[in-house]
Structure 1
Amino acid sequence: MQRLFAPWRYAYVSGASAVPGCVLCRAAEGGPDTLTLCRTGRAVALLNRFPYTSGHAMVAPIQHCADFALVDSETMAEMMAVTQRVVRALEAVYQPHGFNLGVNLGEAAGAGITDHLHVHVVPRWRGDTNFMTVAGEVRVLPEDLDRTWARLREALGEAHG
C-alpha cells in the first residue's frame, strides 16, 4: 500500500491549530499570516487554511457576527460583491469548471467556525472528486497555500508593492 503524507494537516487534525480568538476577525486585520486576500469597509476575503481545493476562499463580514439574520443588508451586499471579486480572480488564475458557494450555519450544518458568519468559495474541476477524496478521505492539492495566496492577491490587485 502506498502512503501519501501531508504533515501540514497534523495541526488541524490534532487540534493544535486552534489559536485563541476569532480567525476571521484576525483576517480582517490583514497580513500574510492570515491569508487575507482583500478587505473592504464591511467584508474580508481570505484563503481557507484547510482547503477542499486549491483556491478555496472564505468571505466574511468585518463585524463579528454568527447570526445570518442579524447581518445588515449593506454588509450582506458587500459580502456578495467581494464574493464576486473572488470568483472572478479564481476564474482568471485557475480556470475552474465550476464553483460551490455556501454558508454553513451552526456546527450541525458543518460549520468549522461557528461564531463568525462566512461564505465558502470553492473552485471545482470535472473529476476533482476522485478515489483519494472518496475512499481515502484525502485531498490532493497541486499548489501550496503561500503560492495560492500570492497568485490571488495579485489577481485581486491587492499585492503589496
Structure 2
Amino acid sequence: MADDFERLWTPHRLVYLQSGQQPPDDECPFCLAPGKSDEDALIVFRGKSCFVLLNLFPYNTGHLLVCPYRHVDTYDKATEEETAEIALLTQQAMKTLRKVSGTHGFNIGMNQGELAGAGIAGHLHQHIVPRWLHDSNFFPIIAKTKALPRLLGEVRETIANNWITDK
C-alpha cells in the first residue's frame, strides 16, 4: 500500500535488539557506578536517593541518565522520594545543559522493560537527551557512525562543574 513515506531500513540494528544484552543484576552498571569515582563512572551529580551520569553510548553530546541508587526496574516501584528526586534532577540537568551547551530542546523519557527497549531493563533510569536545531543527520544510519564533538570525560567535567542545584 503506497503511503508517500520514504523508508530507511537498518537491519544491522536487529542484532542489537535480539542479542539479549541485559546484564545480570549483580553486574548492573547503574548499581556499580556509585561505588566508583565520579570520573570513572561518568557521574556528574550525586543526590540523596538518585544520581546523574553520562550515557556511555550517547545519542548526543551531554546525553544524561538519572538513576535511583536502589536497584528497581520500573517507575511504579520507585518510592515517592525517588520519583521526586528523578523529577528534580531532570529539571536541574536541563538547566545545566542549557547553560553549558546552549541546548535548544530535549528528549526526555524512560524505556521500561526489555521489550520497551531499555538497554538496562533491570534498573530504572530516565534519559535526558539534549537537542539542537539541525542536529539530526544520516551519518549514524548510512555510516554506522555518530559524530560527537567532545570526549565523555570532558563533557562530564563541564557538566559536573556547572551543575545547577537551585530551583
User: Which residue of structure 1 aligns with residue 98 of structure 2?
Assistant: 91
Letter in 2 for 1:132: F
Task: Report percent identity of matched pairs.
Answer: 37
Q: Does 1:22 align with 2:28?
A: yes
Partner Cα distance (1:128, 1:29) in 2: 34
The structure whose RCO (Cα within 8 Å, separation 6+) is larger is 2
Partner Cα distance (1:111, 1:69) in 2: 16
**2:110/2:126 contact within 8 Å kept:** yes
Letter in 2 for 1:149: R
- Provide TM-score, normalisation by structure 2: 0.79
- Provide TM-score, normalisation by structure 1: 0.81
User: Which residue of structure 1 aligns with residue 147 of structure 2?
Assistant: 140
Report the structure number with the largest CA radius of gyration.
2
Partner Cα distance (2:107, 2:60) in 1: 11
Partner Cα distance (1:147, 1:46) in 2: 13
Q: Secondary structure at the match of 2:143?
A: coil
Partner Cα distance (1:30, 1:46) in 2: 12
Q: Secondary structure at the match of 2:133?
A: coil
Given the alignment, which residue of 37, 42, 47 partners 2:49?
A: 42
Output the aligned Cα RMSD: 2.5
**1:30/1:36 contact within 8 Å kept:** no
**2:109/2:126 contact within 8 Å kept:** yes
Q: Which runs of 5+ in 1 are unaligned?
A: 1-11, 13-17
Shift of 1:24: 0.9
Shift of 1:30: 4.6
Shift of 1:131: 2.0
Partner Cα distance (1:42, 1:84) in 2: 16
Shift of 1:157: 6.7
Aligned residue-pair number: 145
Q: Which runs of 5+ in 2 are unaligned?
A: 1-15, 17-22
User: Which residue of structure 2 aligns with residue 5 of structure 1?
Assistant: none
